[in-house]
Structure 1
Amino acid sequence: MAGPYGRGRIMEHKAILSTLRERFDCLTAAYRCFLTGSCPSQSAADVAGVIFSGVCGLVPGENRECAPVEYCRDNSVKLTCISVTLVEKITSSLTSQSLPPAVALYCVEILRVLFEDMDLMSQLVHQFQAKDQIISHLAAKCVSMRVFYHLHKYSTVSPVWKQKCVEGFHSSPPGIELDACLWSLTEVLKKLLKGAHQEILGKLLAAFDSSLSALCSKFLPEERKEVMQCLVDFTRNRHWGTTFCLLLDLLEVLTASSLICGTGVCLKSQRITYIHSSALLTIISCSSEYFIKKRALLLLKRAVLQKAGEDWALGEVLFPGLKYEHFNSDMSMLAQSVLTAVAANWLQSVQVECASFFGGTRHTRGDEGQKPDCVMLRAVSLLLLKSMELHIQTAAGAAEAESAKEVYGYLQSLWGFLRQYSVQLTEVTHLCCWVSWLFGEQDDDMFEAAKALLSIFLNHRLCSRLDDLAVLEAACASGCNPHCHFLLMLQSISFDHSILLDFLISTESCFLEYFVRYLKYLRADWQGFTAACGRISVSDCHLSLQQSLSASCGGDMFALTYKGEPDRVEFSACVQPTDVISPVEMIRLAAGFRLVEYGSSDESDPENMEVSQDEPGASVSKKSRFRAVDVKQGIDGPPIPIRQKQYESSNVTEKRPETSLQLLQSEQTSSPNMAPQSGQVTCETSARAILCLSELREVVTRLQTKKLFPYNPSSLLKLLAQVENCSQQSHLSHFSK
């Protein structure tokens, strides 16, 4: 039998368990009531008291000498978690206004008692430093929701939360407490950005501007030696990786906030990514943690593409057309930091590991080893390409020619970097293929790369003293011939105009901007386009470039090789098909094959389409990054100078839809029994491309007539008609000879 002392301990234990059970029952009942839209049987003050006691259950320093910790600690942790979660749930429901009026009043009273009478905020921010990381994170979530609710309702910042975060940014080392402060501020800023609360956002950022600048100066000092020393110091702390990634998350939110402020005042903390870009590049090359390298690189990629926040924006409109005062100088600073680092062999220090999958890494067949991390390769490539594009845009006068030479040097450095990690690219001699190889699975990145390379090419063409043929040959040698990029893109989608239509309508990529700029150049350089068609063989056009390269990367089905001339691309199959289809028949099949049938658009419901047909500048949507009015400006702007014979387009009229088909048929019937020669292959490639553009013009015209196109495409249609006219004149000139 237990003695008096033993019986006393047992009774005390039972009393504590009973109290914990009663608290659990009270909180569980309250939670269920809120879910069902009813009020608990207890008063708001009673529920608030239970919540407060649960939140304070594990506050460091509380006297627990008399409590049987070995029995109740786990239950106490659970009680704290459910208490904090319930407060977050109540606050979230009030913010979203999803509760019935009576229940909402009940919840408002609970929060009033907790935060005004009991000062729960002080207890919650104190839990930021709890040793249990789950409790610390739940407290940060709860505080963030409360701060956002208070900001949304009263437009004031919680002084207790602000003081805690400021102190943490100034003095806390990497660890749980600083992590909670970083995550909490990041979450509040995200909510404000999604809700477009610009005025409130400005007040909040002003409150943390100096402390955030001090924090980033500590983690991202300006001097390379100091960055290296910080890496040594911080890596001794096991929490450093987590803290730094949370800091990078915050930097992305700050960068996104700088883009939405428009012409308003932009604080220093919102420009940290640009100001400390050199330190971030050093982190990428010198950090021992691969996930930190990758996260920092993706931040810089999104900054240079002006896509910060794209992962969590959920389609919301974040970025207006007007930029803040220092935007151009900040982008120039970022670009210059990248180019300076590349000139100092930064690419050679960038680590690219094997692609990871669920369950580890995947080995490819043969002797190719493991597939590289294409996310890293794409990020490095886009960061450098966009930096080069920005660099040539800011170069002026006598510096332009020298800038063009530098840019081609950077391209050679990029090719060397990519060849280190790609057996397929090592075997390719026509470098224009690398865009489709690397970006084939990411349309948005592919068009960003193509647009940047088009700008680089046009700048080099303008600054060089070479004739047009020599310029195009040099472009192919450097992998930036825009004609090759466009043709390879068309080949990768099997010359299907319906996919181009999807790209035109989508707001997720810059295809419209790229397409307009390329078509404007195409109408001025038809001979260059014809020459590119000769380089790219369609003898195996039923195999798209993307399929061929994907198969080459993953197995041994197809390989990209070169036959005869070094600048002529052909696809050779290791496994020969049993049924050989001629290129002419493939063109016929392509003309009748559609992935999407837009001929049935009569059945579409125009009432469900937000269309503005009357206004020529109507945009695709509020999210569109490139408006129809910009298309018109781009087409009607100054023509691209060219040193060869120009085609007059001032009196271009709409051609009949049969024009390109008639030309194609005439090519097909001109020599029906002859084997395809190089000139015939060139005509076939050109005919397929023009047929695709012609069909695109027809379907866009039909949708415009039925008021089903999301913006006014008149200027785009005019440009497509001009390209068709160039094609017709070229063919008439060819036949006249």
Structure 2
Amino acid sequence: MELAVSCGDRSTWRDRLTDVYRCVQTGSRPSQSAADVAAVVFSSVCAAAAAAGADCHDNSVELTYISVTLVEKITSSLTSRSLPAAVTSHCMEIHRVLFQDLDLMAHLGVVSPVWEQKCVHAFHSSPPGPELDACLWSLTEVLKRLVKGSPREILWKLVSAFDSSLSALCSRFLPGEKTEDCTSRRHWGTTVCLLLDLLEVLTASSLICGAGVCLKSQRLTHIHSSALLNTISCSSEYYVKKRVLLLLKRAVLLKAGEDWALGEPLFTGLKHEHFNSDMSMLAQSVLTAVAADWLESVQVDSSSFFGGSRRTRGDGGQKADCVMLRGVSLLLLKSVEHHIRTDAGTGAVSATEVFGYLQRLWGFLKRCSGQLTEVTHLCHWVSLLFGEQDDDMMEAAKASLSIFLHHRQCSGLDDSAVLEAACASGCNPHCHFLFLLRSVAFDHSILLDFLISTETCFLEYFVRYLKYLRADWRGFTAACGRISMSDCLLSTQKPLTASCGGDTLGGPGPAEVSSSLHPTGAEMISSIAGLRLVEYGSSDESDPEGMDCQDEPGTSVCSALDVKQEISRPSIPVRQKQYESSHSTGLPRHPNSVLEGRPGGPSPPEQTSCLPLSARAVFCLSELREVVTRLQTKKLFPYNPSSLLKLLVQVENCSQQSQLSHFNK
């Protein structure tokens, strides 16, 4: 197709395209043939790339807009079937010639050479300012749209056009070593934040490339991870520090782009050729920086609110910025976990080295948050810090479990000594799980909420912990005793009054503190002796379609409508879920989901709350098993939970055997 046309020809094309658009809009048949219309549309789209001179370029851009608008109008009219038969036949022929004979789609992804040239020049040499900002923003927005749904070939073609210039840009703005602070330059903060947005989009694009080729520019976050950590230390702008930290956190969690990816995870599970080396590079950069006292240079301000940061006279009651605390904690925990996973086979990772990182993290948290210094049990810090960030809390718990299992394997200590050392470093998995259950008031419906959510992190953590729990029941009961002892000590001291909100850090609420001591096995048996599970007496709790709920007495049921609501609704923080579980009807709280005592006995909530900690935990898991079993029977569970149910049954068996052994003694 000939593209070397004059500006006058383009004016004629504009008139012809406008005439066709009016005909389609009014439902009349255009006078031009389908082949002629398709040729003009195709030439108009391709001519923009070949335009020379400012005037001709402007005309070409206008022509492209008109052409694409006409194609959209024809497509929508054909889809809606709103045109007369003769006009429909004509438009279908135009559509066929464009997309089959001329393959228009292959040309729509062509990068404008003028825009490309301008961006490349800005990336190589422009200082921080409006010109560079405009180029960064435009490329970021285009890439976002391509990441969310375009063919990978188009995305790869666009990224490859800017590959070398983006690498040069990062080398200019993110030096590898600490240098003089350049953050005082005008426009620097805005430009760097736009660059960070672009880096996140590029990182997200690497997650969807699967096993294909990954360009260097898609790996810039990992390649320049040391420089990004230096930016957190050296930048004078606090919002830049936080933005960099969030980028690194999302990179290590494989969640880059989660804010704008329409709630769908971008990572497909397929890894590009540099994936493992890039993750190792990021983890090693973090651990090297932490070993060099990087945490000492991390600034954590008071939390910000709509009215500002609340820096007022007498600011003793201000809370630390939990976004920064959570970001640093997760970045370090996940880096240690990856370090263990990749180097454990070589024996290069010692237990002393790993717990050294944890001690540094604990020192950082105590320095930055006065509330954490009041914690009497170090393992409480995970649920305390991540209380209203469910996904982050599960990631932290899963990483801590991996760290503990590595320490258990390579330390050479017996189980009791390993658990003591884990409690001293705040990573005993039994304690983490018990604090998690207590933070949700031992409500099995919230655990079910986690299991059926689109996030798989809790399921991965839960299955892995249950496998460990069935092999170390003695350690679990010991952890229950330690937590109960800690609660007793806490009740004699000043209670923790802070709370961990979305941006502020504090202590447990009243529902989180239990004063029950850990009893003997005989006492546990006597506590539960008069209790039984209630069976349904009617089908009132059935689903709207009249689903029969009486086929399995003694098990919990969840209606189809309830499950659909639970699966489709957005994620709700732990503490909000805990509140709603006692004030709304989310997942069903049927009579058989609680223990019923003898006539005249206390109400079900009072009965479960007075049980010892281990019994409450086991009962919660038992209720969860019943609900999942019922959902599986009704074919309402979103995946096959057979392995999970098997583990839950094994845990219940461990509990029963433990009770019997104590009773026999």
Structure 2 portions without partners, runs of 5+: 1-17, 28-53, 88-103, 516-525, 548-558, 569-590, 602-606
What secondary structure is seen at the aligned counterpart in 1 of 2:614? helix
> Could you tell me how far apart the structure 1 residues matched to 2:302 and 2:637 are?
43
The AA in structure 2 aligned to 1:235 is S
Q: Is the 8 A contact 2:609 2:616 kept in 1?
A: no
Structure 1 position 486, deviation (Å):
0.4
Q: Does 1:283 align with 2:237?
A: no
2:189 pairs with one of 234, 241, 244 = 241
Structure 1 position 88, deviation (Å):
8.3
1:392 pairs with one of 326, 340, 361 = 340
What secondary structure is seen at the aligned counterpart in 2 of 1:523? helix
What do the CA deviations read for 1:654-682 (whole angstroms, capped 9, x no partner)?
A: xxxx99989x989xx9xxxxxx9xxx999
Q: Is the 8 A contact 1:538 1:570 kept in 2?
A: no
Q: Is the 8 A contact 1:537 1:682 kept in 2?
A: no
What do the CA deviations read for 1:374-415 (whole angstroms, capped 9, x no partner)?
A: 011100000000001011112235634x53211101111111
The AA in structure 1 aligned to 2:627 is V
Structure 1 position 601, deviation (Å):
4.4
The AA in structure 2 aligned to 1:404 is A
- TM-score, normalisation: structure 1: 0.64
Q: Which residue of 2 aligns with 1:219?
A: 173
Q: Map of 1:246-325 to 2, 5 A cutoff?
A: 246-325=194-273
> Could you tell me how far apart the structure 2 residues matched to 1:361 and 1:320 are?
39
What secondary structure is seen at the aligned counterpart in 2 of 1:352? coil
What do the CA deviations read for 1:169-202 (whole angstroms, capped 9, x no partner)?
A: 1122111111111111111111111114211111
Q: Which residue of 1 aligns with 2:356?
A: 409
Q: Map of 1:35-434 to 2, 5 A cutoff?
A: 100=77, 154-222=108-176, 224-225=177-178, 228-229=179-180, 231-232=181-182, 235-236=184-185, 238-362=186-310, 368-397=316-345, 399-400=347-348, 402-434=349-381
Structure 1 position 603, deviation (Å):
4.4
What secondary structure is seen at the aligned counterpart in 1 of 2:344? coil
> Could you tell me how far apart the structure 2 residues matched to 1:153 and 1:588 are?
76
Q: Is the 8 A contact 2:385 2:500 kept in 1?
A: no
2:643 pairs with one of 715, 726, 736 = 715
What secondary structure is seen at the aligned counterpart in 1 of 2:612? helix
Structure 1 position 95, deviation (Å):
6.4
Moved more, 284-293 or 151-160: 151-160
> Could you tell me how far apart the structure 2 residues matched to 1:390 and 1:260 are?
21
> Could you tell me how far apart the structure 2 residues matched to 1:428 and 1:354 are?
20
Q: Is the 8 A contact 1:534 1:682 kept in 2?
A: no
Judged with a 3 Å threshold, the aligned counterparts in structure 2 of structure 1 residues 326 and 256 are, in CA distance, closer, same or farther, namely same
1:444 pairs with one of 358, 376, 391 = 391
> Could you tell me how far apart the structure 1 residues matched to 2:418 and 2:425 are?
11
Q: Is the 8 A contact 2:401 2:427 kept in 1?
A: yes
What do the CA deviations read for 1:254-277 (whole angstroms, capped 9, x no partner)?
A: 101111111101111111000000
Q: Which residue of 2 aligns with 1:624?
A: none
Q: Map of 1:692-711 to 2, 5 A cutoff?
A: 692-711=620-639
Greater RCO, CA 8 A, separation 6+: 2
RMSD, aligned α-carbons: 4.8
> Could you tell me how far apart the structure 2 residues matched to 1:290 and 1:163 are?
34
Q: Is the 8 A contact 2:203 2:256 kept in 1?
A: yes
Q: Is the 8 A contact 1:435 1:449 kept in 2?
A: yes
> Could you tell me how far apart the structure 2 residues matched to 1:373 and 1:589 are?
46
> Could you tell me how far apart the structure 2 residues matched to 1:514 and 1:221 are?
38
> Could you tell me how far apart the structure 1 residues matched to 2:233 and 2:533 are?
50
> Could you tell me how far apart the structure 1 residues matched to 2:455 and 2:391 are?
7
Structure 1 portions without partners, runs of 5+: 1-29, 40-60, 63-79, 106-149, 562-568, 573-583, 612-619, 622-657, 670-675
Q: Is the 8 A contact 1:354 1:370 kept in 2?
A: yes
> Could you tell me how far apart the structure 1 residues matched to 2:136 and 2:391 are?
30
Q: Is the 8 A contact 1:371 1:553 kept in 2?
A: no
Q: Is the 8 A contact 2:208 2:267 kept in 1?
A: yes
What secondary structure is seen at the aligned counterpart in 1 of 2:640? coil
Judged with a 3 Å threshold, the aligned counterparts in structure 2 of structure 1 residues 552 and 589 are, in CA distance, closer, same or farther, namely farther
Q: Is the 8 A contact 2:533 2:592 kept in 1?
A: no
2:443 pairs with one of 474, 487, 496 = 496
What do the CA deviations read for 1:9-54 (whole angstroms, capped 9, x no partner)?
A: xxxxxxxxxxxxxxxxxxxxx9xx99xx889xxxxxxxxxxxxxxx
> Could you tell me how far apart the structure 1 residues matched to 2:508 and 2:108 are?
63
What secondary structure is seen at the aligned counterpart in 2 of 1:328? helix
Q: Is the 8 A contact 1:256 1:308 kept in 2?
A: yes
The AA in structure 1 aligned to 2:641 is P
What secondary structure is seen at the aligned counterpart in 2 of 1:396? helix
> Could you tell me how far apart the structure 2 residues matched to 1:591 and 1:377 are?
43
